[in-house]
Amino acid sequence: MAGKVAIVTGAAHGIGSAIARRLGRDGYDVCLNYRSEPGKAEELAAQIRAMGRDAIALYADMADLASVRKMYDDCLSHFGRIDLCVNNAGISSEVYFLDATEEDFDRMTAIDWKGLYFSSQYAAKSMIERGIKGVIVNLSSNQTEGCWPRATIYAPTKAAVSKFTKNAAMELSLHGIRMVAVAPGYTDVGWSEGDIRLEAASRLPFRRFATMDEVASLVSYVASDEAAYMTGNTVLMDGGATLPVVAANDFV
């Protein structure tokens, strides 16, 4: 991937940082987006530069399209091109339907859906202007397939991401640009011991969560030339969490 440039949103921590690190190892120069953790983003940029690649950390709040536009302008000013866009940034605030407020709704949809939509548009336009047959990877979720409590805002935004991926991929195919969604399930992002979410691992077929590096590996694959005939689909990676429930995980 030498000479290719990737932009990763929400890259300062969690899955986004694992994706950015993996792309650096794959040979990409990387633009790292952050909103609230500039120190972590700069540290990761230094790690990628130590791999022999170029990397910069740029601020943008995905709910603020002016700052997203500026991030793309700054990325293009520095690198001159974008070959891969990974729309990872998102929030997953949990709130019961009857307790949800307009503020909850607007903030989550602005980041997880609206921000991703226009980030994709900015990336695609930059590719088309430069004749680049690039790739856009959107982070969806297995919540498009199953139902969890306190997710009446979050899950529909991810369903929108998966449906958007299909429609946009159809249009972008005319320009040789691929768009694919990756839908992880429970992923170990470093939750503290005692976090109630950790209890879910024992109810999964593999009795563990995905690692961030496993998700990053999938993103790396779908962005690679090995997946050159893949576009418009959502690749589910949840360790079988949405398979039919088997009582007590007893397969005997």
**H helix and E strand count, the chain:** 7, 9
Q: What is the pLDDT of residue 247?
A: 52
Cα–Cα dist 41/81, whole Å: 21
In a domain, 243, yes or no: no
Q: Which amino acid is at 27?
A: G
Q: Any idea what the CATH number is for the domain that residue 217 is in?
A: 3.40.50.720
CB 97 within 8 A of CB 49: no
In a domain, 111, yes or no: yes
State the catalytic residues.
154
Give the pTM. 0.93
In a domain, 82, yes or no: yes
Q: Work out whether strand 234-237 and strand 178-184 pair parallel, antiparallel, or are unpaired.
A: parallel
What is the token pair recorded at 57? 């950390």
Domain count, the chain: 1
Q: What's phi and psi for 67, nearest 5 deg?
A: -75, -30
Q: What is the pLDDT of residue 144?
A: 87
Q: Which amino acid is at 178?
A: R
Which DSSP string corresponds to 82-109?
Answer: -SEEEE-------B-GGG--HHHHHHHH
CB 208 within 8 A of CB 239: yes
Range of the domain at 214: 5-238
In a domain, 248, yes or no: no
In a domain, 206, yes or no: yes
| Per-residue pLDDT in tens (0 to 9) along the chain, 252 residues | 568 999 999 999 999 999 999 999 999 999 999 999 999 999 999 999 999 999 999 999 999 999 999 999 999 999 999 999 999 999 988 899 999 999 999 999 999 999 999 999 999 999 999 999 999 999 999 888 888 888 999 999 999 999 999 999 999 999 999 999 999 988 887 766 766 667 777 788 888 889 999 999 999 999 999 999 999 999 999 988 888 655 555 554
For the segment 13-24, what is each residue's pLDDT rounded down to a tens digit? 999 999 999 999
